[in-house]
């Protein structure tokens, strides 16, 4: 005689035991009873960070769910009243990306074609697509959670609560409209979080070019290195390190006098015959003016552009020790120019990553596709000094698996900096699990 519920029996079946326990929990409403028994206890607030409503559960959700089950159970056993409402994240990229794929167009195109309401209706229509699979999986891992009283971020009451928070921030003068350089997916036409931008680095090959910028009124050139040639049409400044040693060197082949960091002499000298004719600190270069590479934004010379600036983020580890500055496409570039009083940051790239009409020679091209055309253009003009290929790690959009760019976005932001000390003090009082 055997007993499948007796763990000492050789014929014990974990699968049969699992189903027996789940059946008992369901028929006896054990979870509801545990809530009823502690209903008068001190509440223990549990917020379930919701999964995206458009995806199936995977191992990452299972690990999180085990923790989300263990902690509420512990406090329930201590007599606390712990409501556990399951949640669904119905907003943002996951749903939009699913709809875009099904429609075969970008979000921008879809909204223009369907209208805001039509696009929202499409998104709303797939929200509950995987509800039964989620409920089955969560129940099978033994997690107790309330699916009957779940919440969705698209529920009006939920959205109203978010707007209430926004109103509180607004009344405290913690919301402002501004321009920042942020990670951006050109495939999805939207900003990405720093977490998303850092979650999908891939090893790729990119062009690495050294470009010559001619100084004003003198036959000398500053050499700057970049792995993003597509940002060169938007160049507004060059940046040096004021305490870095720089040299003027005569290129034996072309006769040009080229300026770069002394520590990069050996690296550049591998492909160029150079004769050093002068040596000086970067501080002596600050304020030097140069001619724009392209004519597209030359009018910004009146705003202080096309000048050598300095900042301590410049290094001599790679390149030339001189950094080209396109403030619309780099956080440091934006910061350095603003600190120097240069407030303009032209961004001739649309939401799909294509050059706009200002960049007449490359308009309509995706920026990454334009790299080779820009390099050829600069070579024909005589500004291309060294052309190489670099193997490096580059961020990709985790949803579209396409290269991310960094660009300025005019949007609404929260003054987190003003709350940093208060946030840190509050965090120190929280028992993080």
What pLDDT is attached to residue 2? Answer: 45
What pLDDT is attached to residue 251? Answer: 97
pLDDT band at 6 (very low <50, low <70, confident <90, very high): low
89 versus 93: the higher-pLDDT residue is 89
Distances (CA, A) of 260 to 79, 137, 182, 291, 382: 70, 61, 30, 17, 18
Please give the span between the terminal C-alpha atoms of the chain, in angstroms, as a whole number: 46
Q: What is the DSSP string of 110-149?
A: HHHHHHHHHHHHHHHTTTTTTHHHHHHHHHHTT---EEEE
Please tell me the distance from the alpha carbon of residue 273 to that of residue 270, in angstroms, as a whole number: 8
Please tell me the distance from the alpha carbon of residue 238 to that of residue 17, in angstroms, as a whole number: 70
Q: Which two tokens stand for residue 150?
A: 């779940």
What pLDDT is attached to residue 1? Answer: 40
DSSP symbol at 355: B
Q: Domain 201-411 classified CATH 3.30.300.160? A: no
Model pLDDT for residues 151-199, shown as the tens digit of each residue: 999 999 999 999 999 999 999 999 999 999 999 999 988 999 899 999 9
Q: Where do the CATH 3.90.740.10 domains begin and end in the chain? A: 201-411
Q: What pTM value is reported for the model?
A: 0.82
Model pLDDT for residues 17-75, shown as the tens digit of each residue: 999 999 999 999 999 999 999 999 999 998 888 888 777 888 888 888 998 999 999 99
What pLDDT is attached to residue 278? Answer: 96
pLDDT band at 125 (very low <50, low <70, confident <90, very high): confident
Question: What average pLDDT does range 304-321 have in this prediction?
Answer: 97
Going by C-alpha positions, the residue among 339, 335, 308 that lies closest to residue 324 is 308
What pLDDT is attached to residue 3? Answer: 52
What pLDDT is attached to residue 8? Answer: 59
What pLDDT is attached to residue 58? Answer: 86
Question: What average pLDDT does range 386-406 have in this prediction?
Answer: 95
What pLDDT is attached to residue 338? Answer: 97
8 versus 376: the higher-pLDDT residue is 376
């Amino acid at each position: 005689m055997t007993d499948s519920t007796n763990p000492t029996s050789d014929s014990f079946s974990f699968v049969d035991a699992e189903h027996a326990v789940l059946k008992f929990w369901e028929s006896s409403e054990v979870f509801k009873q545990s809530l009823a028994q502690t209903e008068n206890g001190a509440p223990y607030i549990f917020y379930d960070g919701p999964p995206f409503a458009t995806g199936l559960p995977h191992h990452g959700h299972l690990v999180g769910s085990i923790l989300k089950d263990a902690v509420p159970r512990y406090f329930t056993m201590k007599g606390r009243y712990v409501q556990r409402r399951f949640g669904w994240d119905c907003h943002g990229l996951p749903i939009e990306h699913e709809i875009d794929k099904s429609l075969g167009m970008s979000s921008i195109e879809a909204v223009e074609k369907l209208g805001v309401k039509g696009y929202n209706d499409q998104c709303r229509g797939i929200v509950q697509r995987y509800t039964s699979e989620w409920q089955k999986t969560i129940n099978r891992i033994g997690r107790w959670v309330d699916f009957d009283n779940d919440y969705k971020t698209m529920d009006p009451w939920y959205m109203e609560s978010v707007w209430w928070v926004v109103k509180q921030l607004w009344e405290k003068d913690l919301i402002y409209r501004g321009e920042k350089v942020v990670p951006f997916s050109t495939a999805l036409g939207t900003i990405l979080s720093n977490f998303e931008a850092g979650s999908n680095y891939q090893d790729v090959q990119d062009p690495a070019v050294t470009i010559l910028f001619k100084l004003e009124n003198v036959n000398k050139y500053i050499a700057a290195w970049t792995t993003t040639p597509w940002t060169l049409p938007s160049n507004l400044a060059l940046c040096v390190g004021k305490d870095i040693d720089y040299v003027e060197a005569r290129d034996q082949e072309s006769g040009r006098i080229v300026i770069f960091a002394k520590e990069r002499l050996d690296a550049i000298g591998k492909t160029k015959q150079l004769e050093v004719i002068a040596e000086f600190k970067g501080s002596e270069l600050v304020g030097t003016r140069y001619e724009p590479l392209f004519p597209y934004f030359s009018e910004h010379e009146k705003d202080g552009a096309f000048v050598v600036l300095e900042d301590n983020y410049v290094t001599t580890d790679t390149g030339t020790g001189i950094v080209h500055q396109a403030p619309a496409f780099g956080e440091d570039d934006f910061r350095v120019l603003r600190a120097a009083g240069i407030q303009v940051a032209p961004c001739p790239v649309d939401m799909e990553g294509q050059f706009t009409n200002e960049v007449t020679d490359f308009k309509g091209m995706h920026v990454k596709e334009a790299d080779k055309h820009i390099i050829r253009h600069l070579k024909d003009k005589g500004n291309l000094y060294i052309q190489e290929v670099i193997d490096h790690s580059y961020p990709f959009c985790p949803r579209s698996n396409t290269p991310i760019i960094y660009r300025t976005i005019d949007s609404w932001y929260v003054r987190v900096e003003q709350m940093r000390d208060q946030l840190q003090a509050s965090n120190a009082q929280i028992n993080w699990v």
